């Protein structure tokens, strides 16, 4: 019997057209896009389906858009397999909010409004700071951390073996990349982002997010939800709110959280939402587990087929 964990994508997974064929294939899915538009008071679905890309990549649209498509992917999967069971959820950065909604901690509408506010607050922080991020390939955490301390930048995402993202003041990123290469990194490449996410430069977003969270009554999770900040399951609703606020400036401990789930006996991971980045990370963390994804109608069909396939006979 598989123990199944759901995984929800983070910012950067957005792509014009995301969710469109799911909405076209299912009136139920289309209804969720309509609910999102009503909750936000503007036509987010149109931005997801048709762009333009310049609008979709704006943090205030990208974050609720990715949340929405991740949720719709889960609802489409549940529509096809009403008996679907999962024993944990996890999400990368903003995906943690989708993971919390999937576990019943907050409603769909509360989540999408909160994620849009988070995106606005983070964009405001980007606007008043000059920050950047870079992907470091092929250098371990200890050596990358040492470079960060030396240069004055921070670890932002600990994604999988051989892939770490660093974050900090824009004027330091080129130096940080060169030092990482000198320390043995195969590559160290600046990323096209609006600012230094998951670094102290985002601190101005935290009190605003705390105020937004104070207007929501969070419920205890119906299944364990992994916290990006700790790499461990969330605790009480009060602790969940605290971790979500910390997450804005703290590193995302994705690899650690996935290894925790694997150690707990999880053998099936379903990525929900645009792209396949989390599936790629999982292949590098442990390629012995079953990895499925739902990003569009074709991947939905493939995942349904895999989940409904009879278990192999035990000899």
Under DSSP, the state recorded for 311 is P
Q: What angle do CA 24, 13, 209 make, to 5 degrees?
A: 105
> Judging by beta carbons within 10 Å of its beta carbon (0-12, 13-18, 19+), is residue 111 exposed, middle or buried?
buried
93 among known catalytic residues: yes
Under DSSP, the state recorded for 233 is B
Q: Which of 26, 61, 167, 198 is catalytic?
A: 198
What residues contact 208, with CB distance under 8 A and at least 6 apart? 117, 121, 124
Q: Which of 26, 45, 93, 167 is catalytic?
A: 93
Under DSSP, the state recorded for 10 is -
Dist. CA 237–CA 229, nearest whole Å: 15
Q: How far is CA 295 from the centre of its chain?
A: 14
Contact call for residues 72 and 21 (beta carbons, < 8 A) = no
Dist. CA 160–CA 254, nearest whole Å: 7
Dist. CA 86–CA 94, nearest whole Å: 20
Dist. CA 223–CA 225, nearest whole Å: 6
Q: How far is CA 110 from the centre of its chain?
A: 17
Dist. CA 284–CA 274, nearest whole Å: 19
Tokens, residue 115: 């994620």
Report how far apart, in Å, the C-alpha atoms of 55 and of each of 14, 173, 190, 241 are.
11, 26, 22, 29
Contact call for residues 133 and 192 (beta carbons, < 8 A) = no
236 among known catalytic residues: no
Q: Give the active site residues.
A: 93, 198
């Amino acid at each position: 019997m598989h123990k199944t964990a759901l995984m929800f994508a983070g910012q950067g997974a957005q792509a014009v057209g995301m969710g469109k064929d799911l909405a076209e294939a299912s009136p139920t899915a289309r209804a969720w896009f309509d609910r999102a538009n009503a909750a936000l008071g503007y036509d987010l679905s149109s931005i997801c389906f048709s762009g333009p890309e310049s609008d979709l990549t704006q943090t205030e649209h990208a974050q609720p858009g990715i949340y929405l498509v991740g949720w719709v992917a889960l609802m489409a999967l549940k529509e096809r397999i009403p008996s679907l069971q999962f024993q944990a959820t996890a999400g990368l950065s903003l995906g943690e909010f989708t993971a919390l909604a999937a576990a019943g901690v907050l409603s769909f509408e509360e989540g999408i409004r909160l994620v849009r506010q988070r995106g606005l607050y983070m964009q405001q922080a980007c606007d008043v700071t000059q920050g950047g991020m870079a992907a470091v390939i092929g250098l371990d955490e200890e050596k990358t951390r040492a470079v960060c301390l030396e240069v004055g930048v921070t670890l932002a995402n600990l994604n999988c073996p051989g892939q770490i993202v660093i974050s900090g003041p824009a004027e330091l990123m080129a130096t940080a990349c060169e030092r990482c290469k000198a320390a043995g990194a195969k590559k160290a490449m600046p990323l096209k982002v609006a600012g230094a996410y998951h670094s102290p430069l985002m601190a101005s977003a935290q009190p605003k997010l705390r105020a937004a969270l104070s207007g929501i009554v969070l419920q205890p999770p119906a299944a364990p939800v992994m916290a990006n900040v700790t790499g461990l399951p969330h605790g009480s609703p009060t602790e969940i709110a605290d971790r979500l606020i910390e997450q804005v400036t703290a590193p995302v401990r994705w690899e650690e959280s996935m290894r925790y789930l694997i150690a707990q006996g999880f053998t099936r991971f379903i990525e929900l939402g645009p792209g396949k980045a989390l599936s790629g990370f999982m292949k590098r963390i442990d390629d012995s587990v079953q990895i499925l994804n739902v990003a569009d109608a074709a991947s939905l069909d493939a995942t349904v087929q895999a989940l409904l396939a009879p278990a192999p006979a035990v000899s």
